[in-house]
Amino acid sequence: MLTQIIFIAILIISLGILTYSLLRIASFFKLTQSAFPIKDFGKRINISLQVAFGQSKIFRLPLIGLVHALVFWGFLVISLGSLEMIVDGVSGSERSFSNLGWIYNFVILTGDIFAYVVSAGIIIFLIRRLFMSIARFKGIELKPKSKKDANFALALILLLMISLAGMNVFYLHVHSENPEGIYPISQFLVPLVHNFSEQNLQILYSVSWWSHILLIFFFANYLPYSKHFHVFASIPNVFLSSLEPLGKIPNMQSITSEVKIMMNPETAFSSPEDGTALITRFGVKDIEDVTWKNYLDSLTCTQCGRCTAVCPANITGKKLSPRKVFIDIRQRMNDKGPGLIKQGKDFSDNKSLIKEYINTEELWACTTCNACAMECPLNISHPNLIIDMRRYLVMEEAAAPAGLNMMFTNIENNGAPWQYSPEDRLNWIEE
């Protein structure tokens, strides 16, 4: 009974902290702009099954992709066992879901296998990060804090798997006569603990059980402040992917409304047909100008570097790193978001996303080839956000590169991108 009370108290505290963290993130979403209507649920489910659950994009790097996919699938299966542990802790029972028959046996069987598979995968990830020089794990955007965060999260996952494996082994020994579930790997490790007394084995089982569940609670509350928040956000982000073809540049609804007003003067003093608010800014200058999807992308980004690794601008030595753009989005929201919530939209810290976080050289280096968006395993669209920041520079600050400014001037004066007068266009036939 005492352990029940302790478990329930820890559960309530853990859920309370997690709720606070998620509400904090939700309050930041309220600062962002609308994106696109969410419809075509059939297509979205299909994309989620392929990209999120099937990990289709991960397999573009076959070997390490398979390892990552196995870790992801293992997490899904092991999460079901974690749910049973919570029910056990609250109810004071053991193996609450064992009456599910073959379903329970299948979950326990796959969970036992994945405990060791995921452990092996995490060890491979740690070796790659700590001892191998992999280009996409480097970059000015990856601060020492980011690298420590990645290693710490991987170490936590490894401890989770070790505690789960230990729990299975000690459970099999303590309940050797009639264990619930099937343990295809752990059963071969039971002889290793035969020399332990029954009392010590029971203690070790309890220690493993409590270690595993407490690590789950700690990890869940660590995720909102880690790059590994994609554990929560990846599936929703893929489900909410843009369904437009890559390379299609969306129109600015505010500009469309303005053009309609210009073409119909009678509507000049009425609200836009789509009900959008009056235009406050063209494009994206700061964090409150991004859409909710842009911010969700920044939370979902795993910082894997696949986007930067295939970016032709980055490969040729330019400053652009698509990964950095979304790392900066998340950091800027963490820096400015609390002030906007407390003081309202007029709050200013005399900084902005453009220039202080992302410089214009990075933005104009993008060729909008969409290689980054195609490679991203979570369907993040980098070019659309970059284009919106360019739109701000052009339409609000007239800060386009010299070549573009010359083209704009020629279009305005000559009706064409070239510097020749319309009257001189046919002079070439006289030669």
Name which of 217, 292, 251 is nearest 34 in CA terms: 292
Q: pLDDT at position 196, please?
A: 83
DSSP-derived 3-state class of residue 70: helix
Distance (Å, whole) CA 172 – CA 167: 9
- Six-digit token pair at 2? 């005492």
User: What type of residue is 188?
Assistant: F
- Sorted by sequence, the CB contacts under 8 Å of residue 343 that are 6+ apart come out as none
Q: pLDDT at position 346, please?
A: 87
- Sorted by sequence, the CB contacts under 8 Å of residue 125 that are 6+ apart come out as 67, 71, 154
Backbone angles phi and psi of 291, in degrees to 5: -85, 165
Q: How buried is residue 99: exposed, middle or buried, by Cβ count under 10 Å (0-12/13-18/19+)? A: exposed
Cα angle vertex 198, ends 194, 199, to 5°?
A: 135
Instruction: Please name the residue that has the structure tokens 């070997």.
Output: 63
- For the whole prediction, is pTM greater than 0.85? yes
| Cβ–Cβ < 8 Å for 247, 262 | no
Q: Give the pLDDT of the chain (431 residues) as one tens digit per residue.
A: 788 999 999 999 999 999 999 999 999 999 999 888 899 999 999 999 999 999 999 998 899 999 999 999 998 989 888 899 999 899 888 888 888 889 989 999 999 999 999 999 999 999 999 999 888 898 889 989 988 999 999 999 999 999 999 999 999 988 877 888 899 999 998 888 878 888 888 899 999 999 999 999 999 999 999 989 999 999 999 999 999 998 888 888 777 877 777 787 676 555 555 544 456 788 999 999 999 999 999 999 999 999 999 999 999 999 999 999 999 999 999 999 999 999 988 899 999 999 999 999 999 999 999 999 999 999 999 999 999 999 999 989 888 888 888 888 888 888 888 888 888 878 878 87
How many residues are recorded in the chain? 431
Please report, for the chain, the start and end positions of each structural domain, with discontinuous segments joined by +: 2-19+55-230, 280-414
Name which of 389, 387, 354, 381 is nearest 297 in CA terms: 381
Q: pLDDT at position 271, please?
A: 54
CA torsion sign for 393, 395, 398, 403 is: positive
CATH architecture of 280-414: Orthogonal Bundle (1.10)
Residue 68 has a CB neighbour count (10 Å cut-off) of 20
DSSP H helical segments within 37-188, as ranges? 41-47, 62-91, 102-131, 144-174
Instruction: Please name the residue that has the structure tokens 């073809």.
Output: 245
Instruction: Please name the residue that has the structure tokens 């459970």.
Output: 171
Element (H, E) at 160: helix 144-174
Would you give the DSSP letter of residue 99?
Answer: G
Would you give the DSSP letter of residue 251?
Answer: P
Distances (CA, A) of 88 to 83, 157, 162: 9, 22, 20
Q: pLDDT at position 267, please?
A: 61
Would you give the DSSP letter of residue 196?
Answer: S
Helix, strand, coil % in the chain, rounded to nearest 5: 70, 0, 30
Largest CA distance in the chain: 105
Name which of 421, 418, 422 is nearest 410 in CA terms: 418
| Cβ–Cβ < 8 Å for 255, 249 | no
Query: From the centroid of its chain, how far is CA 321?
Result: 17
| Cβ–Cβ < 8 Å for 349, 290 | no
User: What type of residue is 66?
Assistant: L
CA torsion sign for 407, 412, 414, 419 is: negative
- Sorted by sequence, the CB contacts under 8 Å of residue 49 that are 6+ apart come out as none
Q: pLDDT at position 416, please?
A: 85
Distances (CA, A) of 388 to 274, 383, 391: 20, 9, 5
Distance (Å, whole) CA 133 – CA 130: 8
Q: pLDDT at position 275, please?
A: 47
| Cβ–Cβ < 8 Å for 353, 392 | no
